[in-house]
């Protein structure tokens, strides 16, 4: 602003000087010089007028820019408000079992029409998709369920199938699928053998309801995860097949509320029934009393060598705060030791404190090795590439591969 005032002052001073000079020249009779001075004076006046017009136009543009900037800021505020509403809507808890959206993308949907049709034998009201889902589910049950099984044994058989025969769909939070539609419902899960947490939960529930076992799909309060509640002999238990997938460690199988909470889950305890069962918790079903906390390493070693996936132990002395702290420190150091010991091919090793039916503390331990039946990458497998190539050549003729390797011609 000071530079602008300086320019205006200089322009005004020049005009005054020229006027004075013109008067003096006129008075002295210098005609040509007077005309020239007058012409220069006119040029200066025109330049001054043009400068004022440019300044006025610039001010108008600045005013327009300020208006545009204000509008953009308003739109940005509106967008932020909308995003806040969307986030709040996607994570706010809902007191419902079905029609709940998990992680903003996967919807928990009822499949009672399929289980009811299975139990009644009437499939006439099912869609073609539901009929195909029922056929796939019946095929699984025919392989894992046998006559004379208890409800617990049926539940365990389905849990083992889901946690060893399916794979987690990869992606963010358990959330962006690589296999396309169907990772959150029994049809896609049974067809493609790939699932997110909602797919595991709804498929487990379908199997339970087909067998007449009461089951609900439960979701976390922030609606980013889902699992199951199953009723055995009048007591409810939490079952999270997704968390145990690919290892079947039983760490998240038939938990009571206390164990489920210690696993990091939070849910609407006013809407969903309380899970207080302990009778069918695998770790508690396989409990042992050992001398003291320093006998834990031998207990764990026996579990690994005997291929025991879930067990619990208590001690001859009462478990007080000091005993609990020492046992927890022992388990943490054991975990570090085991994971760094090549002798063990473990896929899972963890522990948690649980309560038995009398309210006494037990140290529950879960161990699992890598699955022997896990699909093997062909590049890592001991395959006969010569026979593979010969079989292909017999049908398709000689083929030249772009990426020919020493393994016999496998394409990379």
The SS3 assignment for 225 reads coil
Predicted confidence at residue 13, as pLDDT, reads 60
What's this model's pTM, rounded to 2 decimal places? 0.66
Predicted confidence at residue 187, as pLDDT, reads 96
Alpha helices in 92-238 (DSSP H): 112-120, 128-144, 151-165, 186-192, 197-210
Pairing of strands 167-168, 194-195: parallel
Predicted confidence at residue 118, as pLDDT, reads 97
- Nearest of 189, 145, 182, 181 to residue 165 by alpha carbon: 189
Fold of domain 282-367:
Translation Initiation Factor IF3 (3.30.110)
Who's near 355: CB < 8 A, 6+ residues apart?
256, 258, 278, 361, 362
Q: pLDDT tens digits, the chain, 412 residues: what are they?
A: 555 555 555 556 656 665 655 565 555 545 555 566 667 777 777 887 788 888 877 777 777 777 777 777 777 776 665 555 544 445 577 899 999 999 999 999 999 999 999 999 999 999 999 999 999 999 999 999 999 999 999 999 999 999 988 876 544 334 344 444 689 999 999 999 999 999 999 999 999 999 999 999 999 999 999 999 999 999 999 999 999 987 778 999 999 998 898 888 999 999 999 999 999 999 989 999 999 999 999 999 999 888 888 999 999 988 889 989 999 999 999 888 888 776 776 667 888 888 888 888 889 999 876 555 544 444 445 566 777 777 777 776 776 655 434 444 433 3
Predicted confidence at residue 55, as pLDDT, reads 80
DSSP 242-278: HHHTTT--STTEEE-HHHHHHTT--B-TTTSPP----
Q: How far apart are CA 303 and CA 27, in angstroms?
A: 122
* Residue 306, φ and ψ in degrees, nearest 5: -90, 5
Kindly list the domain boundaries of the chain, sorted by start residue. Answer: 2-76, 100-262, 282-367, 376-412
Is residue 351 within 8 Å of 324, Cβ to Cβ?
no
Q: Give the Å distances, CA to CA, from 412 to 378, 386, 400, 408.
A: 11, 16, 13, 11
Predicted confidence at residue 12, as pLDDT, reads 60
Predicted confidence at residue 45, as pLDDT, reads 77
Predicted confidence at residue 56, as pLDDT, reads 79
Is residue 314 within 8 Å of 289, Cβ to Cβ?
yes
Predicted confidence at residue 378, as pLDDT, reads 47
Is residue 317 within 8 Å of 361, Cβ to Cβ?
no
CATH class held by domain 100-262: alpha beta
Is residue 317 within 8 Å of 400, Cβ to Cβ?
no
Predicted confidence at residue 377, as pLDDT, reads 43
Is residue 98 within 8 Å of 217, Cβ to Cβ?
yes
Predicted confidence at residue 39, as pLDDT, reads 72
Q: How far apart are CA 374 and CA 380, in angstroms?
A: 13
Predicted confidence at residue 359, as pLDDT, reads 82
Predicted confidence at residue 375, as pLDDT, reads 47
Predicted confidence at residue 1, as pLDDT, reads 53
């Amino acid at each position: 602003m000071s530079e602008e005032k300086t320019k205006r002052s200089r322009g005004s001073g020049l005009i005054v000087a020229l006027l004075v000079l013109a008067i003096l020249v006129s008075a002295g009779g210098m005609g040509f010089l007077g005309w020239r001075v007058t012409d220069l004076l006119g040029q200066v006046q025109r330049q001054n007028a043009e400068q004022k017009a440019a300044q006025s136009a610039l001010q108008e543009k600045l005013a327009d820019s300020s208006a545009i900037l204000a509008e953009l800021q308003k739109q940005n505020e509106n967008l932020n408000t909308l995003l806040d509403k969307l986030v709040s809507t996607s994570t706010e808890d809902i007191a419902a079992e079905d029609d709940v959206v998990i992680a903003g993308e996967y919807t928990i949907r009822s499949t009672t029409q399929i289980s009811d049709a299975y139990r009644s034998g009437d499939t006439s009201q099912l869609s073609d998709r539901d009929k195909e889902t029922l056929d796939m589910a019946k095929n699984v049950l025919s392989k894992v369920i046998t006559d004379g099984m208890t409800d617990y044994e049926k539940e365990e058989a389905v849990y083992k199938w889901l946690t060893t025969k399916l794979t987690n769909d990869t992606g963010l939070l358990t959330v962006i699928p690589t296999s396309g539609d169907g990772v959150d419902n029994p049809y896609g899960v049974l067809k493609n053998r790939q699932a997110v947490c909602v797919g595991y939960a709804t498929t487990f529930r379908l199997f339970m309801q087909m067998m007449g076992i009461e089951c609900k799909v439960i979701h976390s309060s922030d609606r980013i995860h889902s699992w199951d509640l199953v009723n055995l002999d009048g007591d409810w238990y939490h079952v999270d097949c997704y968390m145990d997938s690919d290892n079947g460690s039983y760490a998240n199988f038939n938990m009571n509320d206390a164990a489920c909470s210690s696993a990091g889950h939070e849910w609407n305890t006013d809407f969903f029934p309380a899970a207080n069962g302990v009778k069918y918790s695998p770790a508690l079903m396989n409990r042992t009393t050992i001398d003291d906390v320093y006998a834990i390493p031998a207990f764990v070693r026996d579990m690994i060598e005997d291929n025991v996936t879930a067990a619990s132990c208590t001690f001859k002395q009462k478990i007080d705060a000091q005993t609990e702290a020492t046992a927890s420190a022992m388990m943490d150091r054991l975990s570090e030791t085991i994971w760094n010991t090549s002798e063990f091919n473990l896929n899972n090793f963890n522990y948690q404190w649980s309560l038995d039916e009398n309210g006494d503390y037990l140290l529950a331990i879960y161990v699992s090795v890598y699955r022997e039946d896990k699909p093997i990458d062909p590049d890592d497998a001991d395959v006969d590439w010569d026979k593979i190539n010969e079989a292909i050549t017999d049908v398709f003729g000689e083929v030249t591969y772009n990426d020919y390797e020493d393994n016999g011609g496998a394409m990379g």
